[in-house]
Amino acid sequence: MAERVRIGSRPSQLALAQAGLIKQELERRCPGLTCELVEIRTTGDKLTTPSLAQVGGKGLFVRELEQALEARQIDLAVHSMKDLPSELDDSFRLAAIPVREVTADMLIGVTGGLAGLPQRARLGTSSLRRKFEALRVRSDLEVVPLRGNVDTRLARLEQGDFDAVILAAAGLARLGRRLGVPSSVLPEDDFVPSGGQGALAIEALAEMPVAGARELERALLAMDDSRTRCETTAERTFLTAIGASCASPVGVRATAGDNSLMVRALLFSLDGAHSMTEAVALPGPPTLANALAAGTDLAERMLARGAGDLLGSNGDGGRG
């Protein structure tokens, strides 16, 4: 058994908290193993532009971690699943996808959802998807770009820069944040989350070059949650098949029940002027085969209705 495993993570507080959860679980499952967190600053962390869509999307949070894997500087990389491009290079694999956290978005600063905001309220978010979903419900809102870590965003809300901000509920839960301001969970009927939202991805090389990796592989296999893998596989399959890039304003949510798998998507044109929604449901226990079929079927239905024209030239096969 390898005595030390190096886990790569972005240096943000949330990313380190998420990687720390994986570290603790691996050490619990593999007595004698020590996991070291290796902070790797990505291009996305260095940029200050208000919108990542302008400079390449969320894939900017992944590339340096994958380069570190290839250079054998780390053995595993922990990502927020929604930051991963929907297709991985053949050199990499998803070694484990742990149990998913909540997938919903939260509106911070007011109770009662968007209806609780005053007319022409200033709403902060860095996500085109969230922007267009909010304007679809409340066209009067002024949606202002907002980047930074969770504490930075909450601080700007408290300073009065915004009437409310939208954050992923999963990040707040993993940080253990107790909000000192009103908040409400946004309904997923209106705010379909990003593909993979609430899930973590443990990425490794296709052939893990770790001495004594067999026991580590068993631990990773035990950490893998079949329901979460099915849901995220359906979502990522849809994103690839629809031609969405990391910057596309697309929400997709798969829900695996005991005897069904449902996938619903909401996408927008690049200017937010037009939207399209669709859902498919497959009966039977959720399997990876069903997940692939459901994601593909949903994409084909939406493409037949003109989804490709809505996404325009932004589709790039999901590499972001």
Q: Please report where in the chains the tokens 């690049």 appear, as a residue.
A: 270
Task: Please indicate, yes or no, if residue 235 is contained in any of the structural domains.
Answer: yes
Q: Are residues 117 and 62 in the same domain?
A: no
CATH of the domain at 275: 3.30.160.40
Q: Are residues 37 and 170 in the same domain?
A: no
Phi, psi of 144 (to 5 degrees): -115, 135
Number of domains in the chain: 3
Task: Please indicate, yes or no, if residue 52 is contained in any of the structural domains.
Answer: yes
Distance in angstroms (rounded) separating the CA atoms of residues 121 and 152: 20
**What's the pLDDT at 246?**
72
H, E, C per residue of the chain: CCCEEEEEECCCHHHHHHHHHHHHHHHHHCCCCEEEEEECCCHHHHCCCCCHHHCCHHHHHCHHHHHHHHCCCCCEEEEEHHHCCCCCCCCEEEEECCCCCCCCEEEECCCCHHHHCCCCCEEECCCHHHHHHHHHHCCCCEEECCCCCHHHHHHHHHCCCCCEEEEEHHHHHHHCCCCCCCEEECCCCCCCCCCCCCCEEEEEECCCCCCCHHHHHHHHHHHCCHHHHHHHHHHHHHHHHHCCCCCCCEEEEEEECCCEEEEEEEEECCCCCCEEEEEEEEECCCCHHHHHHHHHHHHHHHHHCCHHHHHHHHCCCCCC
**What's the pLDDT at 201?**
98
Task: Please indicate, yes or no, if residue 191 is contained in any of the structural domains.
Answer: no
Q: Are residues 8 and 91 in the same domain?
A: yes
Task: Please indicate, yes or no, if residue 177 is contained in any of the structural domains.
Answer: yes
Task: Please indicate, yes or no, if residue 194 is contained in any of the structural domains.
Answer: no
Q: Are residues 235 and 219 in the same domain?
A: no
Q: Are residues 66 and 210 in the same domain?
A: yes
Instruction: Please give the positions annotated as active site.
Output: 83
**What's the pLDDT at 51?**
52
Picking from 207, 224, 241, the residue at the C-terminal end of a domain is 224
Show the tokens assigned to 90: 């053949």
**What's the pLDDT at 319?**
38
Q: Are residues 95 and 12 in the same domain?
A: yes
Q: Are residues 56 and 168 in the same domain?
A: no
Task: Please indicate, yes or no, if residue 276 is contained in any of the structural domains.
Answer: yes
**Structural domain containing residue 172:** 105-185
Report whether 318 contacts 87 (CB < 8 A). Answer: yes
Q: Are residues 95 and 211 in the same domain?
A: yes
Task: Please indicate, yes or no, if residue 306 is contained in any of the structural domains.
Answer: yes
Q: Are residues 62 and 172 in the same domain?
A: no
pLDDT averaged over 10-residue windows placed end to end, the chain, 320 residues: 84 95 95 93 60 53 91 95 91 96 96 95 95 98 91 91 96 86 94 97 84 81 97 97 89 96 97 96 94 98 96 50
Show the tokens assigned to 60: 């900017």
Q: Are residues 113 and 239 in the same domain?
A: no
**What's the pLDDT at 149?**
84
Phi, psi of 283 (to 5 degrees): -80, 165
Q: Are residues 89 and 236 in the same domain?
A: no
**What's the pLDDT at 126?**
87
Task: Please indicate, yes or no, if residue 62 is contained in any of the structural domains.
Answer: yes
Contacts of 62-65 spanning 24+ positions with Cβ under 8 A: 62/320, 64/40, 65/8, 65/9, 65/10, 65/40, 65/203
CATH of the domain at 19: 3.40.190.10
**What's the pLDDT at 313?**
45
Q: Are residues 244 and 205 in the same domain?
A: no
